[in-house]
Amino acid sequence: MFRTTLFIYLPVVVLILLLHRLIFGASMGVGWGLIAFYWILFAVWMNARYSRKMQHEDVSGLDKVESRLDADRWKITEREADLIRLKPEFDRLFSLSIDDQIVIYYSEDKVRIEGPAYYLRRLSNDIRGISGKQGQKIRTVLTVLVIAGVSLIPLLSQSRLLWELQVFAHNIQASSSSGNNLTEPGQRGSSVANTLNGGYGVVDDASLYLIEWQRILEIDLNTEEETVIIDRASAEPWLGNLNLIGDWLYYSDNNSLHRVRTDGNNQETLYDLGQMSAVQIVDETIYFINDQDDNNPYRMTLDGGNVERIIDVSLTSMTVYEDQILFSHESGREGRMERMQPDGSGRETLLIGEASSIMIWEDYYYYIGQESRLYRMDQSGTTEPELVIDYPVSLYTLTNQGIYFAAEFDSGQNQDNGMYMSELDGSDIQQVALGQLTDRLITTEEAIFYNTGLESFHNFERIDLGDGLE
């Protein structure tokens, strides 16, 4: 019976997995352990339903038995004086894959029936003249629904099916209330450096918009006058992923993406399907890493509609440029840095090795690699990666003046935590701030703001750059 179930079960599993891939563009997320678990359940059910049994019925003769057979349900394959062989005309899927033959023997005013247990029950009811077909159908349907409901719980919890249904429902709702796009081609919501450093700040011509845990502030860059745009005291753990498009600020909390006007009005929730990271807005599109779907890269429109997976890969980092996406992920036991087109096409491997916080500057890819060291690699790919900063880098930004980075050392090391700077090739390292833990780094065209480990904007230090950014 176990072998029989395998030939039924495996083709169905393969068909389901293929259909899910074709419809949703991703694997179903079901492991071999769960597939084996359902095969065992299926085999146990098949054994209970179709194992061969024997039972007796009190009947005066085979003619009596034959007269009670429903021709639409049973097909006689052989008839002898004391024997009838027949097959069911229903249950075709399973009857084709098992020994479905039923044999009725007659002796001494009794019949002995041998065959699959399920068919014996159906045949016994016919011989006894028990109708109740409608009630039997209802009981069968209810039994199937209960069994399916209980057995599908592990499948739904492990697979992506529920997630795909949530996305489908979200897109339908978003399409019914979608608004106009708010940006022009080539515009982006925040700089690459600010995005990769947590998305805590973004600037326009006159103001720095800053996240302080549960608040969004507007800071006048000339007067440092502070205005509270929004206060989300209930946000857990805090706000992040700040972007600015036109007069709209986009930001995320623990499980949602929102937008609000820069004057604090018209707050809207665009997406509420779970945690996201690396939120970037480029060319009228919101890109993000979806924590709810195995850290796959996703995109959607500015009004929260058309949510879709870009590729089915679990990312550790993503940087979006107008013409390409740079990303890193684990492939087997190795890290890998790749690039692709914004629609997911044209994937190309750039590096075999650990990489995160990837930025392009002049002719190089800069990234944080093994042991949190800062590396760079020529975009031509003709040379080996170069170790730029041999310190444990947690945050960094690139300017015409050089690299500014936050380094965090173990307590047993002699160096101090804090802000450092160097040339773009890593030479001439200087300490900018002594012994201060830097957990936020915000870059504008004229200055770098870095946090000293406290909440308030007034605890941010400022480094003037002049024309330090391109």
Q: pLDDT grade, residue 456 (50/70/90)?
A: low
List pLDDT tens digits, range 290-323.
Answer: 998 999 999 999 999 999 999 999 999 999 999 9
pLDDT of res. 174? 83
- Judge whether 17 and 160 are in contact, CB under 8 Å: no
**SS3 string of 418-463?**
EEEEECCCCCCCEECCCCCCCCCEEECCCEEEEECCCCCHHHEEEE
User: Reduced to 3 states, what is the DSSP secondary structure of residue 57?
Assistant: strand
Q: How many CB atoms lie within 10 A of CB 400?
A: 13
Find the mean pLDDT for residues 227-251: 86
- Judge whether 296 and 163 are in contact, CB under 8 Å: no
Does residue 40 surpass a pLDDT of 70?
yes
Q: Which residues, listed in sequence order, are joined to residue 351 by a DSSP beta bridge?
A: 337
DSSP-assigned letter for residue 25? S
Q: Where are the alpha helices (DSSP H) in 25-132?
A: 32-50, 62-67, 92-95, 117-127
Long-range contacts, 130-134 (Cβ 8 Å, 24+): none
User: At a CB cut-off of 8 Å and minimum separation 6, what does 294 contact?
Assistant: 29, 314
pLDDT of res. 145? 67
* pTM, rounded to two decimals: 0.74
- Judge whether 468 and 421 are in contact, CB under 8 Å: no
CA angle 173, 178, 179 (to 5 degrees): 165
> Residue ranges of the domains in the chain?
1-158
Q: How many CB atoms lie within 10 A of CB 417?
A: 21
User: At a CB cut-off of 8 Å and minimum separation 6, what does 378 contact?
Assistant: 363, 364
Long-range contacts, 72-81 (Cβ 8 Å, 24+): 73/122, 73/126, 74/123, 74/126, 77/101
Backbone phi, then psi, for 221, in 5-degree steps?
Answer: -70, -20
Looking at residue 220, its amino acid is D
Q: pLDDT grade, residue 385 (50/70/90)?
A: very high
- Judge whether 32 and 14 are in contact, CB under 8 Å: no
Between residues 2 and 282, which one has the greater pLDDT?
A: 282
Q: How many CB atoms lie within 10 A of CB 428?
A: 9
Does residue 175 surpass a pLDDT of 80?
no
Distance CA 405, CA 13 (A): 51
Long-range contacts, 289-292 (Cβ 8 Å, 24+): 289/315, 289/318, 292/163
Q: pLDDT grade, residue 341 (50/70/90)?
A: very high
Q: Ranked by mean pLDDT, which of 65-74, 287-296, 429-438 comes out on top?
A: 287-296
Find how far residue 123's CA is from the centre of its chain: 50
pLDDT of res. 468? 43
Residue whose token pair is 């096409």: 345
